[in-house]
Chain A
Amino acid sequence: MRWLERRRREHDDELLSAYIDGQLLGRARQEFEARLAREPELRARLEATRRMLGLVRSLPPVPAPRNFLLDPAKYGRPAHVRQAARWYPTLRLATTLATALLILVFAADLILSQALTPTFRAAAPAAAPQVATAGQGARQKTDAVEATVPPTPAEFSAPAPTAHPMLAAQPTPPSGEADQLPSAAAGEQAPEGALAVTPAPATRLGPAAAGAATDGLETGQPPTPGPTEPAPTPTAEAPAATPMPAEVGQAPPQAPLPAPGEPSQESAPAYTPEGPPQAPLPSSLLRAIEIGLAVLVILLVGATILAWRAT
């Protein structure tokens, strides 16, 4: 009962407050004014509240006892910092745009590379016979090679498609029969057998293979240096048969180009590397754009952080 009385009183106080502030409108206002007319207690509370508000509003304003100025030496910022802070919104927008662009280019690259992959695979077998054909000329020119075998898939992962025609004309033995390599190289570069002969790149031939290579040389030349030494001579791989442009970067150092007029030049017409299919151009272009954008994003993020700290 007491709770009910208290709740009713609180409700009346809400109506009083709203009535004083002119927030009681229409029918609610009319009803409240009718209550005021017939309830002296409510009317007295209204007057007491109004007078209380009058007293509160009569409180004089209290001026600040002192100035609250900020010390420029403590809170001021140098002009260049203020300038940096002004660039913050622009830098933030630029960073967002560059990041979005990077994501788009990356996605495009991904989609393109996936779409072109079957083309590469189709082109690879076509390139292999071409290499083999080119290798015929090389075999005719050297007696060191007893037999050649078609390039194995392992060779497709090897070096640069931009190899010199002389290199392209060499047969590509499997890694297990690396003894063909030095002979072919010898036939190409040193027909007299003056051994510039070196086994295939040590990275591809283990010590055992290197030993086998030296054993298999009909020229009887002494074995070449250890397998860890880089081979200055051309490698036996068929570069043109390399289908994956992504592998280009892994190509071993190319052999020095022979002087004009050397016999090896004769094999040039026999094989003209056409290079991998057209895919690498847009792919590498996209890759370059990606790298450029990534660098740009990194720079922008750094600049944005600096500008943000200046704000």
Chain B
Amino acid sequence: MDEASLIQAAQRGDVAAFNELVLAYQNQVYNLAYRIMGDGDSAADATQEAFISAYRHLVHFRGGSFKAWLLRIVTNACYDELRRQKRHPASSLEALYVVDEAPDDPGLIAAPAENPETYAQRRELWRFIEAGLSTLPPDQRITLVLSDIEGLSYEEIAEITSANLGTVKSRLSRARAKLRDFLMAQGELLPAHYRLHGEGDGAAQQVVRK
């Protein structure tokens, strides 16, 4: 059964058909939630909420890109979760700055066939990137994840985040600049071949790959 037929069946209340869609998109949805939330538990909660919400509101889906519609829902679910964490900062600080070591740690899942030292360095780099992402304001983080990790266009991001194009561009440029500056500030902690070297008065730096 193709996606359109599955959607129609799910709109009529066929849970089995909807579960087919869940299986098709759950990795993508969870990945987005994980990059936005920064930890596995919150991402799983947001993903589950997103699929439940999608099922309940599926009757309002009027065609177009189902993936974009789904990503919009999970983005909103993440917004809600982030707002909840903001109201309860004690429970969110840990999630913000402690890199998840759970089994869904991408480093563990994507264990490559490279030598252990290189692999450990790569994992260290990913942890810095994730830590840098978590320092961004939610709007900027979501925009950067949608653009530079999910690869969506400005227009798609504008639709998903309910913002205009100018706002999307502005958020994206600020997010990139902040993440770049964060990584440059952490440069000395990075493995040597990922280290950021200062140039001139320090305002201009570059990533030097050996």
- Give residues in A with beta carbon < 8 Å to B: 10, 13-14, 16-18, 21, 23, 40-42, 44-45, 47-49, 51-53, 55-57, 59-72, 75-77, 81-82, 85-86, 311
Residue B177 lies at the interface, judged by CB distance under 8 Å to chain A: yes
What's the tally of chain B residues with a CB closer than 8 Å to chain A?
61
Q: Which residues of B contact A82 (CB under 8 A)?
A: 12-14
List which B122-169 residues lie within 8 A (CB) of chain A: 125-126, 129-130, 144, 148-149, 154, 169
Contact of A47 among B44, B55, B207 (CB under 8 A): B207
> How far does the alpha carbon of A217 sit from the alpha carbon of B39 in the complex, in Å?
104
- Give residues in B with beta carbon < 8 Å to A: 12-16, 18-19, 22-23, 26-27, 29-31, 34-35, 40, 43-44, 47-48, 51-52, 55, 59, 102-104, 106-107, 109-110, 125-126, 129-130, 144, 148-149, 154, 169-170, 172-174, 176-177, 179-180, 183-184, 194, 196, 199-200, 203-207, 209
Q: Which residues of B contact A81 (CB under 8 A)?
A: 13
Contact A57 B148 (CB under 8 A): yes
Contact A59 B129 (CB under 8 A): yes
Contact A48 B207 (CB under 8 A): yes
Contact B18 A70 (CB under 8 A): yes
Q: How far is the CB of A19 from chain B (nearest CB, A)?
A: 10
Instruction: List 30 A-B residue pairs with CB atoms under 8 Å apart, sorted by A's residue number.
Output: A13-B174, A14-B170, A14-B173, A16-B173, A41-B199, A44-B204, A44-B205, A52-B183, A56-B129, A56-B179, A60-B109, A60-B126, A61-B31, A63-B31, A64-B26, A64-B31, A66-B44, A67-B26, A68-B51, A69-B19, A69-B22, A70-B15, A70-B18, A70-B19, A70-B51, A70-B55, A71-B15, A82-B12, A85-B12, A85-B13
Q: Which residues of B contact A64 (CB under 8 A)?
A: 26-27, 29-31, 44, 47
Contact A59 B126 (CB under 8 A): yes
Contact of A65 among B30, B52, B176, B184 (CB under 8 A): B30
Q: How far is the CB of B163 from chain A (nearest CB, A)?
A: 16
Contact A40 B207 (CB under 8 A): no
> How far does the alpha carbon of A66 sit from the alpha carbon of B43 in the complex, in Å?
12
Q: How far is the CB of A46 from chain B (nearest CB, A)?
A: 9
With A13-B176, A17-B172, A57-B149 already in contact, 7 other A-B pairs whose C-beta atoms are closer than 8 Å: A10-B177, A14-B169, A40-B204, A41-B200, A55-B125, A59-B106, A61-B31
The 5 A-B pairs at the shortest CB distance, nearest first, are namely: A51-B207, A17-B173, A44-B204, A60-B110, A82-B13
> How far does the alpha carbon of A21 sit from the alpha carbon of B143 in the complex, in Å?
14
> How far does the alpha carbon of A48 sit from the alpha carbon of B180 in the complex, in Å?
7
Q: Which residues of B contact A17 (CB under 8 A)?
A: 169, 172-173, 176-177
> How far does the alpha carbon of A196 sit from the alpha carbon of B34 in the complex, in Å?
97
Task: Say whether, besides A56-B179, A68-B47, A62 and B19 are in contact (CB < 8 Å).
Answer: no
> How far does the alpha carbon of A82 sit from the alpha carbon of B154 in the complex, in Å?
38
Task: Say whether, besides A59-B149, A72-B15, A48 and B22 are in contact (CB < 8 Å).
Answer: no
Q: Which residues of B contact A56 (CB under 8 A)?
A: 129, 144, 148-149, 179
> How far does the alpha carbon of A59 sit from the alpha carbon of B144 in the complex, in Å?
13
Q: Which residues of A contact B18 (CB under 8 A)?
A: 70
Contact A55 B204 (CB under 8 A): no
With both beta carbons as reference points, the residue of chain A lying nearest to B102 in the complex is identified as A65
